[in-house]
Structure 1
Amino acid sequence: MDKEHSGRLFHFEHRVLLADTDPSGRMRLDAVSRVLQDAATLDVENTSLTKKGPWVLRWMELVARGIPCYLEQLEVKTYCSGLGRAWAERSTVIDSQSSSITAVANWVLLDDLGRSPIRLSEEFLSVYGESANGKTSSPRLHLGQRFSVTELTERLVVPLRYADLDIMGHMNNAIHLALVEEALFQLGIKLLDDFKYRIEFLSEIEPKIPVTIGVRNSQSTTMLALFQNDDIKSIIELAKVV
């Protein structure tokens, strides 16, 4: 994080516990995603904003130097790092004794019915504008432009569980990463100590329809897509940090 950062900065602590880890004691990707999601929620809930949501995640980029382990204490810091018409960018840093994770995400503000984007209010800008420091953020997606379902070399079909749905009736963001973990395990792809990924959310997962995880693996990157009936719902590109 920029040491000269000014404006609102929210922080809290989280300890890596049993439900966060895989059998080796490594914190799973979906558990990291939940901490990032909690950071966003707790920050907004800590303000006096009249409208605090709902927000939907458009894309996220994450860089991990190491990965937290069982019982490690996490120091989480989050702040607004960019603004747009109906969206805002959030940067979050998660530090532990053995690792450092930085994530940047674009969140879109929806109306009270959770259907359509709405413009950020002057009240919101008064709380987060200084932190954004004039930077703009775009919800534009680009992974789909170089990815096709026909290019997939492996496919796994998984059922959508009721427990995967959140308060908005959507498959929660963290579950996308849980399915990525499952695909990596089933295909014998080991997560490196230092890695990065970008995940993009194209459309909503439909309840009661099985999800197919498609994988395209190469020497430099692993690309995974979640889709239903050949309609891509999310794409993630995973690579080594060099």
Structure 2
Amino acid sequence: MPIPEAKLLPPPAGGRTYTGHQRVRWGDVDPGARLRLDGTARYLQDVSHEDTLDSGTARAGPWVVRRTVIDVIVPAVADEDLTLITFCGGLGARWADRRTSITGQRGARIEAMSLWIRISADTGRPTRLDPAFLDLYADFTGDRKVPASTTHPEPPADAPRRPWPLRATDLDPMNHVNNAATWEPVVDELARLNLRPRRAEVEYRAAIDPGDVVEIASARDDGGLRIWLEVEGRVRASALVHLRS
């Protein structure tokens, strides 16, 4: 079954945007000196957090990621200085679509989208977007509503599987595997199969916690690769990867 491509909206003509800057570090590149997907995910996470601090909305509660799409049009390379422009592309009752455009002084171009769900600091459950957030962003999303449901299929029963050991460095202050760290097994599986990504999408179904025994499964599909992270046979995260020809 062909892998669908999510549509990434252009920056808005008006409204709030936030611009961040990042130099590509050597710890974030592959043997070809190209920025890896997990490094890109970290930069997206950082500029998103910087935006919430700058806007004064950080104290309203934490966010968790449901889905991230990274479209590598021109790869960034080691030591390249990047400009990251991030903005809100759509809203739901308890979540927001964050678009980020990344360009570099050496020609890098990466487009990304993340669906973030607002979590109550008191209950740990999804909570409605607060008026302060809506005042900043709602007028500039064009009334675009975005769904938060997952769309990736289950893995085939005969898909090859292998262990993916967790490390202490994978965990974040919420005491589960950080969303950027979830991209690392995707990068590892692509390298193991000697494949290069053009566009990749990761969906997060449930948290991966300390002590979980994780397995990675993968299967080739029309024009791409599907990857799943499972705990006791249940999918916790999955990826769809479009490959470079």
Which stretch has the larger CA shift, 86-95 or 129-138? 129-138
Question: Residues of 1 paired with 2:142 and 2:75: CA distance?
Answer: 30
The runs of 5 or more residues in structure 2 that have no matched partner are: 1-8
* Cα deviation code 1:174-203 (max 9, x no counterpart): 1111111112222x33214xx112211111
Q: Is the 8 A contact 2:11 2:87 kept in 1?
A: no
Aligned residue for 2:195, secondary structure, equals coil
Kept after mapping to 1: 8 A contact 2:60/2:130: no
Return the alpha-carbon distance in structure 2 between the equivalents of residues 172 and 4 of structure 1.
Answer: 29
1:217 is the counterpart of 2:194:
no
Give the Cα separation in 1 of the matches to 2:218 and 2:155.
11
Paired residues of 1:79 and 1:131 also in contact (CA < 8 A): no
CA contact (8 A) 2:175 2:209 kept: no
Question: More deviation in 209-218 or 67-76?
Answer: 209-218
Number of aligned positions between the proteins: 236
1:222-233 paired onto structure 2 within 5 Å = 222-233=225-236
Structure 1 residue 78: deviation in Å?
0.1
Greater Cα offset, 30-39 or 16-25: 16-25
Q: Please tell me the residue identity of whatever aligns with 1:214.
A: A
Structure 1 contact 59–200 (Cα < 8 Å) conserved: yes
Indicate the larger mover: 125-134 or 77-86.
Answer: 125-134
Task: Find the counterpart in structure 2 of residue 82 from structure 1.
Answer: 90
Establish whether residue 208 from structure 1 lines up as the match of residue 211 from structure 2: yes
Unmatched 5+ residue regions in structure 1? none
Work out whether 1:182 is the aligned partner of 2:188.
yes
Q: Which residue of 1 aligns with 2:157?
A: 150
Q: Is residue 164 of structure 1 aligned with residue 173 of structure 2?
A: no
Listed one character per residue, the Cα deviations across residues 146-190 of structure 1 (whole Å, up to 9, x for unaligned) are x334141x322121111110011110011111111112222x332
For the pair 1:235 / 2:214, whether they are aligned, the reply is no
Displacement of 1:3 in angstroms is 6.0
User: How far did 1:212 drift?
Assistant: 0.8
- Of 34, 42, 52, 1:44 maps to 52
2:30 to 22, 31, 43: 22
Go from structure 1 to structure 2 and tell me whether the alpha carbon gap of 1:226 and 1:73 turns closer, same or farther (over 3 Å shift).
Answer: same
**Secondary structure class of the residue paired with 1:190:** coil
- 2:127 pairs, out of 118, 140, 152, with 118
Residue 30 of structure 1 aligns to a residue whose secondary structure is helix
In 2, the alpha carbon distance for the partners of 1:118 and 1:4 equals: 26
Shift of 1:68: 0.6
Contact residue 109 and residue 120 of structure 1 kept, 8 A: yes
Relative to the length of structure 1, the TM-score reads: 0.91
